[in-house]
Amino acid sequence: MGFGDYPAEYNPKVHGPYDPARFYGKADTPFAQVKLGEIGSWLARRNKSPQAMVGAVSRAWWRWQHKYVQPKRAGIAPFLQVVSGAMVFFYLINSQKLSRHKNYKYH
């Protein structure tokens, strides 16, 4: 499978038009339904290759796009989500600098 190709599991005769937000592989138990004793075996069944990780991020991106950005009457939610994410990101990268400026009481 090369860059920009359809997933190997995708069959246009079975699945219809390609949806980048859908996983075409074999379905597994959702994480919410996994019992504590089965978490190890559930994690062992995951595909941990870099290509699978990029595919998961891509599907999450397209699901977010379809839900918040591309509807006909999209609201302000995607902009607020991006701004909130940026605020958290910049707080985390500057937290060491901010911690040095705390007001300490010296008795």
How far is Cα 30 from Cα 22, in angstroms, rounded to an integer?
14
Contact 91, 97 (CB under 8 A): no
Confidence band for 101, pLDDT divided at 50, 70 and 90: confident
Q: How many CA atoms lie within 13 A of 36 on its CB side?
A: 0
For tokens 């919410």, name the residue: 32
Query: What is residue 1's predicted lDDT score, i.e. its pLDDT?
Result: 52
d(C-alpha 15, C-alpha 7), whole Å: 12
- Residue 4 belongs to a domain: no
Domain assignment present for residue 67? The answer is yes
Distance CA 45, CA 25 (A): 12
Q: Give pTM, 2 decimals.
A: 0.75
Amino acid at 35: K
pLDDT tens per residue, range 49-97 = 888 898 899 999 999 999 999 899 989 999 999 999 999 999 999 988 8
Q: Domain for residue 3, yes or no?
A: no
Residues of the domain holding 57: 12-99
Q: Is residue 104 part of a domain?
A: no
